[in-house]
């Protein structure tokens, strides 16, 4: 299938690692507002066509799918534009920075009948699926608690950096916190009944106005308690653990897993699910899934349906309301 890429930044480069491992895919065009960046990207990855306008790329009749790899604030408008041109869409997470914009995407999808999916690549890893199956099978007994941590410290001090700018929906929640939230929701196949949180804002001397770090606390059905830590100004281990009545499942780098360890009365057992070219190998799983959906004529993914993306956006909106954090465009 022929693909076009909107955006030529770091996430697009990481995604191309998956392209090289995916099946039946040909990236033939890339567009960026910074045309020199797009040209460099195209030269690096052997892409034939370069555009400085996303709309010009979308007018091509020979493109089947679009990967949206721009800053968060452009996701909704570009996804809607791509659907209007009849292109299937894989949009980088978050699908949009708030629930209102996700609803706009859903309305556009209903109108056009074109496939669109949020690119939460973690949910397509074999290790993620294997752990979830073992939990359902009762391998660690009844789940009692779950925790996930994904937080790093950027040394950049530029307030225009997408991770630090409120105008670009920066901060830890949408950049990395959503991985922890998706991990909890996916492993439990449920949404929290109650939630609260604590957030650090403007504690850095540069006063960025975004969530620098946060702790998200949730109670799921069955009184399962969950903790998610995230941030862009504090380095923490990228790990996750599911605790059950008969044992636990522990992940290292849970957002890009190549396996996990089960600990129970029998001891520790490594369940290996090898991934080529870690930590960026693994994008091929979501790419192959999207292509399979499109070939079947589906308009949504059974793994990442739009209702899931909307509920996650609403959950993130709730946390931001707790912090009094509104983006300038809201």
Give the pLDDT confidence score for residue 176 in this predicted structure. 98
pLDDT digit string, tens, across residues 227-241? 999 999 999 999 999
In the predicted structure, residue 116 carries a pLDDT above the cut 80: yes
CATH number, domain of 168, equals 3.30.360.10
CATH number, domain of 29, equals 3.40.50.720
Give the pLDDT confidence score for residue 299 in this predicted structure. 96
Give the pLDDT confidence score for residue 280 in this predicted structure. 83
Instruction: Evaluate whether 165 touches 291 at the Cβ level (below 8 Å).
Output: no
Q: Are residues 258 and 185 in the same domain?
A: yes
Average pLDDT over residues 187-216: 96
Closest by Cα among 314, 291, 285 to 96: 314
Cis previous bond, 236, omega within 30: no
Q: Are residues 194 and 81 in the same domain?
A: no
Q: What's the structural domain count of the chain?
A: 2
Q: Are residues 11 and 67 in the same domain?
A: yes
Domain boundary among 119, 148, 169: 119
Give the pLDDT confidence score for residue 281 in this predicted structure. 87
Can you tell me the distance from the alpha carbon of 127 to that of 254, in angstroms, rounded to the nearest whole number? 9
Residue 279 within a domain: no
Q: Of all helices (H) and strands (E), which one includes residue 69?
A: none
Higher pLDDT, 321 or 33: 321
Q: How far is CA 158 from CA 39, 155, 206, 208, 213, in A?
A: 25, 9, 9, 9, 18
Can you tell me the distance from the alpha carbon of 257 to that of 131, in angstroms, rounded to the nearest whole number? 11
Beta-bridge mates of residue 191 = none
In the predicted structure, residue 174 carries a pLDDT above the cut 90: yes
- pLDDT-based confidence at 277, cuts 50/70/90? confident
- pLDDT-based confidence at 139, cuts 50/70/90? very high
Give the pLDDT confidence score for residue 33 in this predicted structure. 87
Residue 168 within a domain: yes
Residue 36 within a domain: yes
Residue range(s) defining the domain that contains residue 185? 128-274
Residue 294 within a domain: no
pLDDT digit string, tens, across residues 61-113? 999 999 999 999 999 999 999 999 999 999 999 999 999 999 999 999 999 99
pTM, two decimals, is: 0.96
Helix (H, G, I), strand (E, B) or coil at 95: coil
For Cα atoms 251, 196, 207, give the angle at the middle one, nearest 5 degrees.
90
Helices 126-136, 178-188: inter-axial angle, 10-degree rounding: 40
Give the pLDDT confidence score for residue 255 in this predicted structure. 96
Give the pLDDT confidence score for residue 276 in this predicted structure. 86
Looking at every residue in the chain, the average pLDDT score rounds to 97
Domain boundary among 223, 242, 274: 274
What DSSP string describes 177-227? IHHHHHHHHHHHTS--SEEEEEEEES-STT---SEEEEEEEEEETTTEEEE
Domain boundary among 67, 95, 119: 119
pLDDT digit string, tens, across residues 6-21? 999 999 999 999 999 9
In the predicted structure, residue 279 carries a pLDDT above the cut 80: no
Q: Are residues 240 and 157 in the same domain?
A: yes
pLDDT digit string, tens, across residues 292-306? 999 999 999 999 999
Give the pLDDT confidence score for residue 219 in this predicted structure. 98
Closest by Cα among 122, 16, 120, 116 to 76: 116
Residue 302 within a domain: no
């Amino acid at each position: 299938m022929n693909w076009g890429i909107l955006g030529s930044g770091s996430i697009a480069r990481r995604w191309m690692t998956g392209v090289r491992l995916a099946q039946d895919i040909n990236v033939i065009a890339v567009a960026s507002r910074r045309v020199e960046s797009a040209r460099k990207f195209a030269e690096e990855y052997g892409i034939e066509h370069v555009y400085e306008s996303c709309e010009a790329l979308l007018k091509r009749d020979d493109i089947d799918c679009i990967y949206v790899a721009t800053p968060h604030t452009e996701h909704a408008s570009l996804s809607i534009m791509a659907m209007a041109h009849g292109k299937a869409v894989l949009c980088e997470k978050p699908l949009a920075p708030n629930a209102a914009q996700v609803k706009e995407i859903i309305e556009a999808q209903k109108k056009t009948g074109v496939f669109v999916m949020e690119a939460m690549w973690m949910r397509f890893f074999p290790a993620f699926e294997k752990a979830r199956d073992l939990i359902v099978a009762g391998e660690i007994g009844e789940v009692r608690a779950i925790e996930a941590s994904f937080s790093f410290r950027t040394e950049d001090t530029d307030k225009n950096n997408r991770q630090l700018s409120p105008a670009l929906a920066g901060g830890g929640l949408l950049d990395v916190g959503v991985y922890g939230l998706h991990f909890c929701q996916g492993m439990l196949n449920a949404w929290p009944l109650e939630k609260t949180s604590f957030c650090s804002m403007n504690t850095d001397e540069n006063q960025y106005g975004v969530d620098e770090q946060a702790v998200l606390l949730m109670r799921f059905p069955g009184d399962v308690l969950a903790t998610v830590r995230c941030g862009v100004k504090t380095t923490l281990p990228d790990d996750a653990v599911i605790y059950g009545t008969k044992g636990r499942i522990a992940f290292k780098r849970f957002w890009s897993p190549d396996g996990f360890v089960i600990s129970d009365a029998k001891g520790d057992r490594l369940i290996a699910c090898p991934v080529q070219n870690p930590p960026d190998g693994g994008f091929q799983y979501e790419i192959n899934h999207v292509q399979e959906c499109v070939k079947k004529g589906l308009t949504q993914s059974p793994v990442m349906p739009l209702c899931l993306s909307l509920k996650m956006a609403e959950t993130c909106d709730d946390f931001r309301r707790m912090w009094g954090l509104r983006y300038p465009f809201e």
